Structure 1
């Protein structure tokens, strides 16, 4: 099946134009963040559909002592941070949303890198002096390797712990499948490369193509993941944060 009204295989020539007549927005991200994005998308006049995309399993991180700071690459790492790190330890977070959640968890000194792992490395290099006292890096099983390598190259001692694992959700919620069948979804929001890839792969596994759906991606990596799974038209947010993704989506067009 095609994600459009023409079941014979016809393709609308302009995916972006096509999406104007479909107000459904499929949000590809897990919690935390999914629920607040649903509300924000609805406030812009779109019809949100939630696709958690990734199943998150917490890791086990032992209590950390003798560290100069903690680094978190995702909000998914916050439960491990709470369990393993004292509240007085300075925390450097990858982005503003993650930093906000770390503060809400009770940590007293929190700074945001404002975007991605490269900026997080720059922030650490700016704020700290390399020493024998380590920093602890809490990340997903597939995250943090390049960040840890960059910091070690800069002279830092890094303890990297897997705070969580994320596995692709291979099926879509029933309401999303019904919306695809009814040709109601015009946009997919991808908040990471993995979530975008998982969601578009699940669309295709359900018997649909994505060539008439517009993509909005948080980063170039996320944009490439959408493109590899058949999204023809992709807009990349100007900055790798949730607010910029919503800015790239914009208000729903009026009828």
Structure 2
């Protein structure tokens, strides 16, 4: 069993905490990002040949915008297993699952779609790690990438997380995105927690996620073999079992 810090935004933080409890860990929840949904003008879905989501927040944004019912009839390309699973739960029937990164999703989209059939609509956030629109346009497609949501960094750790970090009681931190890693580092610097933050292990979804944590001198940064939450949590389980 490990005491692990869960840093995802709500509601994903609660779901991840439950998974960790089921694996025998003790999660401490401190969301480091808050998702704020925007209200951009979207293209008419009748002109769209397929939707693209690189985060479950894109699907939540569709719900908030009241577009989910009409969108279900379209093929949907999901960045990875979690987004694909959520899309199917919401009633999408034609769901294509990518390898876990937007860059890796692009070839799958190109292989299944035809430029003449219409627009590709990426339900994106305000800040993107990979320009999927540009990659698709480079292959002759028309693509749109409106920002449907933004993430705002937390101004502090939760009280429980702060106390555990200061006391050296955290054994690991789960980090799922570069934005979360940046928010974590900003709080560590602002609160003078550099020495304390070097003690836990950091379980990161990818090398890009791990990059902002490199400034933590001496910290153990462990990167998942694939950008999958299942594989990442398996790493934590293995660490706890000393395998």
TM-score by length of 2: 0.88
Cα distance, 1:215 vs structure 2: 0.9
Contact between 2:102 and 2:130, CA under 8 Å: does it hold in 1?
A: no
- Aligned residue number for residue 51 of structure 1: 30
Query: Does residue 232 of the first structure (1) align with residue 209 of the second (2)?
Result: no
The runs of 5 or more residues in structure 1 that have no matched partner are: 1-21
- Aligned residue number for residue 96 of structure 1: 81
1:248 to 211, 235, 240: 235
Query: Does residue 67 of the first structure (1) align with residue 54 of the second (2)?
Result: no
- Please give the secondary structure, in 2, of the residue aligned with 1:150: helix
- Please give the secondary structure, in 2, of the residue aligned with 1:30: coil
Contact between 2:10 and 2:34, CA under 8 Å: does it hold in 1?
A: no
CA distance in 2, matches of 1:50, 1:215: 15
- Structure with the larger RCO, 1 or 2 (CA within 8 Å, 6+ apart): 1
Report Cα offsets for 1:34-67 as digits up to 9, x if no partner. 1121122223332211121111100114453211
Question: Superposition pairs for residues 100-139 of structure 1, below 5 Å?
Answer: 100-131=85-116, 133-139=118-124
CA distance in 2, matches of 1:231, 1:42: 28
CA distance in 2, matches of 1:192, 1:203: 17
CA distance in 2, matches of 1:166, 1:179: 25
Q: CA RMSD in A?
A: 2.0
The runs of 5 or more residues in structure 2 that have no matched partner are: none
Query: Does residue 34 of the first structure (1) align with residue 21 of the second (2)?
Result: no
CA distance in 2, matches of 1:214, 1:106: 38
CA distance in 2, matches of 1:88, 1:127: 16
237-246 or 30-39, which deviates more: 30-39
CA distance in 2, matches of 1:73, 1:50: 24
- Aligned residue number for residue 8 of structure 1: none
Contact between 1:190 and 1:218, CA under 8 Å: does it hold in 2?
A: yes
**Which structure would you say has the larger Rg?**
1
Question: For this pair of structures, how many residues does the alignment match?
Answer: 233
TM-score by length of 1: 0.84
- Please give the secondary structure, in 2, of the residue aligned with 1:106: coil
